[in-house]
Amino acid sequence: MELEITVLDQRYADYVSRLRTILMAAAAHMGITAAHAEAYVVGNAFMEKNVLAYPAPEGFPRPDLSGARDLGELYINPEHIATHGEDFSFMAVHAFLHLLGYDHHGKHDTVKMEAKEQEILAAILPKTTHE
């Protein structure tokens, strides 16, 4: 998988390596290889949420990706996550699953997403730094 990470708040530049490790491990666990995603590391000045995910529209043309599936964009805010006592690894996996179409609008969807989050975290935690 190709992953572009952009830091929009330089105070959190040290999260890039960790985020890359988590997202690449999650993609590998899900069997995703020929794909592209963009991730942005931000602070509260940019957004006052833990994560946002914008899945790429189905069939949106991306000739620059040479046939790789465009997953979309995710934004992660370490400042908000730390302030609210949340887990960075969990929130990164949560946002990644949103890019894959998982959601938590109904009880069935929530249960399915939570199970997949726990499955991925259990598989990748030995490979990542867990808060």
In the chain the domains, ranked by start, together with CATH numbers, are 2-127 (3.40.390.30)
Mean pLDDT for 61-77 is: 89
Q: What is the pLDDT of residue 63?
A: 81
Given a cut of 70, whether residue 61 has pLDDT beyond it is: yes
Entry pTM: 0.91
Mean pLDDT for 49-76 is: 90
Given a cut of 70, whether residue 128 has pLDDT beyond it is: no
Mean pLDDT for 53-75 is: 89
Mean pLDDT for 30-49 is: 96
Q: Widest CA span of the chain, in angstroms?
A: 41
CA distances from 9 to 12, 40, 87 (A): 6, 9, 19
Q: What is the pLDDT of residue 5?
A: 98
Q: What is the pLDDT of residue 131?
A: 47
Given a cut of 80, whether residue 85 has pLDDT beyond it is: yes
Relative to beta strand 51-55, strand 69-76 is antiparallel
Mean pLDDT for 104-126 is: 92
Mean pLDDT for 65-85 is: 94
Q: What is the pLDDT of residue 127?
A: 54
Mean pLDDT for 110-119 is: 96
- Please give the span between the terminal C-alpha atoms of the chain, in angstroms, as a whole number: 25
